[in-house]
Amino acid sequence: MTVSVPLLVVSLTMARGLPTPPCAGMTTEVPAQMLAFVALAAAVTAAHCLCVVMLPQAYLGARR
């Protein structure tokens, strides 16, 4: 959780700000899509960590 939330914020910020320079052209579309994928993975990881922290008994019961 300590890593995934800041990673999510940084990836979303970079993915949003990357294609805005007027001279960027097509070279920023692929990195922006990769950053969006990293943001999605970080969001899923943060949600999983939050569920484990908030509901530890349910998580342990599901693993048995």
Across the chain, which has 64 residues, the per-10-residue mean pLDDT values are 81 75 68 83 87 76 66
**pLDDT of the residue at 64:** 63
DSSP notation for 1-64: -TTHHHHHHHHHHHHHHTT-STT-GGGGHHHHHHHHHHHHHHHHHHHHHHHHHH-HHHHHHHH-
Instruction: Enter the tokens of residue 24.
Output: 């960027």
Could you tell me the pTM of the whole model?
A: 0.69
Crossing angle of helices 29-54 and 56-63, rounded to 10°: 100
**pLDDT of the residue at 50:** 84
**pLDDT of the residue at 15:** 74
CB 11 within 8 A of CB 35: yes
